[in-house]
């Protein structure tokens, strides 16, 4: 047997029994399983030599993605650089940002005006023509790899666009394709589902079904009406989607973000979220990846409460996702910004810090989506706060309607029934940079910049991979031009999806400019993070009581070294009541200081390490 086959066979053998067991449990279909295995081998043989070398290296170093110098950035190709070739030309800018993992927002073919920001895919094997071609993608991946960068893309597996070939054939009445979705010829079953399934877009896309008058059927559409949910109870759907996954992995992806993964299995009478079969499927994907393309890691998009998120890591013996978004921490962070109270955030961090060190979270302040207020309301209730008025407060705060608030932004899916609005805006606008610039208020501007930097420093202090949102490195503001665009006007998430401001990015090395103040300090923080051992993934991390609810203090320890990140979430000067022996080095200025009741500026922070 040739050597290449041996490698594949060895990997297949490792997983075969479990993979077969799970497949049979879901589908009980031997011949479809055999077809799957044949295709795994096909994708393995099609994988190019340079990627196979990457596979080998990463099999020997499976924790490669946990290094403390990993820094991600998510960006829209068109907003950032026009097309894929444009991104290629801008790689040096991304290196200048210390970024070594680029998440390209959805770029596969999608119908204009019915795309949900690219999350309605009409062809999994074709790049949106105005953005380039599959060859451009593979070339970009090669260039990234040469520069030590990784590439991440979305795999939108819950649904296809209504323009996808399968959907078009289903709409034409072809039974084989109808069975790949959820079709019903009356509203009886849809109404049954509606009893227990919540809504994702209650105002922009109410309901979970769409009626198709041409064929007199209802189709399940959890998200927008043009995004048709795939039926993973059909093994043909699973197999074909796995082939799409492997095809994309073979273009040179390092990270594949599995979009909306909790939704992929449906059962009548349930919420159709996080069902056990979802975990079976993710576990199978993990094994399939390890067999064909072990260089690729899975990033699960699980925007759910913490107890629902963590199971997506699987177990140590049977892992599922390599990485998950730290979504509750993100939302709780903004809660602390609005309230100036860090108690809930501290609790949340304690929960995360107690989890097994093998779990890797992706930390972020902002992403392309809205911020949903998924907080720990049971705890807030004990402190006298109720869910609905609290959410109302947060939304009022961030829309700038509360005295003292400096934030600008827009509500998202403001549901008059549940009063469950979410929020959209860029970090800089939420921190007050937009308002201060508008008012020409220099002092407010300085504080807003300080808050923006404090939040980034705090995000970098967490264990896991920090992911920047493109534009945040130069303090990009909300972009209200989406209101003029008929395709976007109804979706306020576009307020933070503006075109990248290269004109402003030019000022990033100018210490006097807003851009420079942010960019240069972020770079310094990133460099410190990459080099100091206390930021290692396996450092011990605790929150530390400084007897002041406005301040969050995080301690990191590694190899006898002790680090404190101290963050003032309030707009007033605050004291961290702490007495630590010895001298500390302020890692940003290099100056020596004692840690005896340090005083922090409004929204200020310290990053200090005990001197030897």
Segment near ligand GLC (CB under 6 A); pick from 115-123, 203-211, 306-314, 411-419: 115-123
Measured from the CB of residue 491, what is the shortest distance to ligand GLC in angstroms? Answer: 9
Active-site residue (options: 116, 254, 259, 473): 259
Segment near ligand GLC (CB under 6 A); pick from 116-124, 335-343, 531-539, 564-572: 116-124
Tell me how far apart the alpha carbons of residues 547 and 330 are, in angstroms, rounded to a whole number: 23
Tell me how far apart the alpha carbons of residues 318 and 341 are, in angstroms, rounded to a whole number: 39
The dihedrals phi and psi of 404, each to the nearest 5 degrees, come to 90, -15
SS3 content of the chain, % helix, strand, coil (to 5): 45, 20, 40
- Give 117 or 207: the residue with its C-beta nearer to ligand GLC: 117
Tell me how far apart the alpha carbons of residues 326 and 362 are, in angstroms, rounded to a whole number: 6
194 binds ligand GLC (CB under 6 A): no
Choice from 116, 320, 376, 447 touching ligand GLC (CB under 6 A): 116
- Give 226 or 334: the residue with its C-beta nearer to ligand GLC: 226
State the alpha helices, DSSP H only, in 114-224: 134-146, 165-171, 175-178, 188-196
- Give 55 or 301: the residue with its C-beta nearer to ligand GLC: 301
Choice from 153, 156, 178, 424 touching ligand GLC (CB under 6 A): 156
Number of residues that bind ligand GLC (CB under 6 A): 10
CA 49 to each of CA 13, 53, 55, 583: distance values in angstroms, whole numbers, following the listed order: 22, 6, 10, 52
- Give 204 or 392: the residue with its C-beta nearer to ligand GLC: 204
Could you say which residues in the range 243-282 bind ligand GLC, by CB under 6 A? 259-260
Tell me how far apart the alpha carbons of residues 412 and 434 are, in angstroms, rounded to a whole number: 19
Measured from the CB of residue 119, what is the shortest distance to ligand GLC in angstroms? Answer: 3
Name the helix (H) or strand (E) containing 278: helix 276-292
User: Nearest-CB residue to ligand GLC?
Assistant: 119
Choice from 117, 202, 516, 571 touching ligand GLC (CB under 6 A): 117
User: What is the contact mask toward ligand GLC in residues 290 to 309, using x (rule: CB under 6 A)?
Assistant: -----------x--------
CA 274 to each of CA 267, 270, 279, 322, 328: distance values in angstroms, whole numbers, following the listed order: 11, 10, 8, 17, 17
Active site residue 301: yes
Active-site residue (options: 162, 163, 290, 301): 301
Choice from 23, 44, 119, 334 touching ligand GLC (CB under 6 A): 119
Burial 51-63 (b: 16+ CB within 10 A, else e): bbebbeebeeeee
Active site residue 415: no
Tell me how far apart the alpha carbons of residues 530 and 70 are, in angstroms, rounded to a whole number: 8
Segment near ligand GLC (CB under 6 A); pick from 113-121, 174-182, 232-240, 505-513: 113-121
- Give 259 or 532: the residue with its C-beta nearer to ligand GLC: 259
Of residues 496, 504, 452, 493, the one with CA closest to residue 478: 496
369 binds ligand GLC (CB under 6 A): yes
Query: Where do contacts with ligand GLC occur on this chain (CB under 6 A)?
Result: 116-117, 119, 156, 223, 259-260, 301, 368-369
Active site residues: 259, 301
């Amino acid at each position: 047997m040739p050597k290449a086959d041996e490698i594949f066979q060895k990997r297949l053998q490792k997983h075969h029994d479990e993979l077969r067991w799970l497949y049979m449990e879901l589908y009980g279909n031997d011949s479809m399983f055999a077809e799957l295995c044949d295709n795994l081998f096909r994708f393995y043989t099609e994988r190019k030599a340079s990627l196979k070398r990457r596979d080998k290296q990463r099999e020997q170093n499976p924790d490669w993605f946990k290094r403390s110098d990993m820094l991600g950035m998510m960006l829209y190709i068109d907003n950032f650089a026009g097309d894929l070739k444009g991104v290629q030309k801008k790689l040096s800018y991304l290196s200048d940002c210390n970024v070594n993992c680029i998440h390209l927002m959805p770029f596969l073919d999608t119908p204009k005006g019915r795309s949900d920001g690219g999350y309605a895919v009409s062809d999994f094997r074709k790049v949106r023509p105005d953005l380039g071609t599959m060859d451009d993608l593979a070339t970009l991946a090669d260039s990234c790899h040469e520069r030590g960068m990784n590439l991440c893309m979305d795999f939108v597996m819950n649904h296809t666009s209504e323009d996808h070939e399968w959907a078009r054939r289903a709409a034409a009445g072809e039974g084989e394709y109808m069975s790949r979705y959820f079709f019903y010829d009356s509203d009886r079953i849809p109404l049954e589902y509606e009893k227990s399934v919540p809504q994702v877009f209650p105002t922009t896309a109410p309901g979970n079904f769409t009626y198709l008058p041409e064929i007199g059927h209802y189709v399940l559409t959890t998200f927008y009406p043009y995004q048709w949910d795939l039926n993973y109870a059909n093994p043909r759907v699973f197999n074909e989607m796995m082939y799409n996954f492997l095809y994309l992995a073979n273009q040179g992806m390092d990270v594949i973000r599995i979009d909306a993964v909790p939704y992929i299995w449906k059962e009548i009478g349930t919420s159709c979220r996080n069902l056990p079969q979802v975990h079976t499927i993710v576990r199978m994907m993990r094994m399939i990846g390890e067999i064909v393309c072990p260089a690729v890691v899975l990033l699960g998009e699980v925007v759910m409460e913490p107890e629902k998120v963590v199971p997506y890591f699987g177990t140590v013996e049977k892992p599922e996702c390599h990485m998950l978004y730290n979504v509750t921490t993100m939302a709780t962070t903004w809660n602390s910004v609005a309230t100036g109270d860090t108690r809930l955030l501290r609790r949340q961090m304690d929960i995360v810090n107690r989890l097994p060190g093998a779990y890797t979270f992706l930390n972020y302040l902002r992403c392309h989506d809205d911020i949903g207020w998924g907080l720990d309301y049971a705890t807030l209730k004990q402190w006298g706060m109720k869910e609905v008025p609290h959410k109302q407060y947060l939304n009022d705060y961030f829309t700038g309607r509360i005295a003292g608030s400096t934030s600008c932004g827009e509500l998202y899916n403001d549901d008059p029934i549940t009063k469950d609005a979410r929020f959209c805006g860029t970090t800089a606008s939420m921190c007050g940079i937009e308002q201060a610039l508008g008012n020409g208020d220099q002092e407010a501007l300085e504080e807003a910049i300080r808050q923006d930097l404090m939040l980034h420093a705090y995000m970098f202090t967490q264990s896991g991979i920090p992911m920047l949102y493109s534009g945040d490195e130069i303090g990009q503001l909300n972009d209200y031009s989406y209101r003029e665009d008929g395709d976007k006007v109804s979706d306020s998430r576009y307020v933070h999806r503006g075109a990248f401001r290269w004109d402003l990015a030019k000022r990033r090395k100018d210490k006097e400019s807003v851009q420079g103040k942010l960019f240069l300090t972020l770079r310094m923080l990133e460099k410190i993070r990459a080099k100091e051992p206390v930021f290692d993934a396996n450092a011990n991390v605790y929150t530390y009581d400084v007897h002041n609810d406005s301040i969050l203090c995080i301690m990191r320890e590694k190899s006898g070294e002790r680090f404190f990140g101290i963050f003032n979430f309030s707009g007033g000067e605050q004291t961290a009541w702490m007495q630590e022996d010895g001298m500390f080095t302020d890692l940003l200025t290099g100056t020596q200081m004692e840690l005896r009741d340090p005083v922090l500026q409004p929204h200020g922070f310290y990053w200090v390490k005990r001197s030897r």
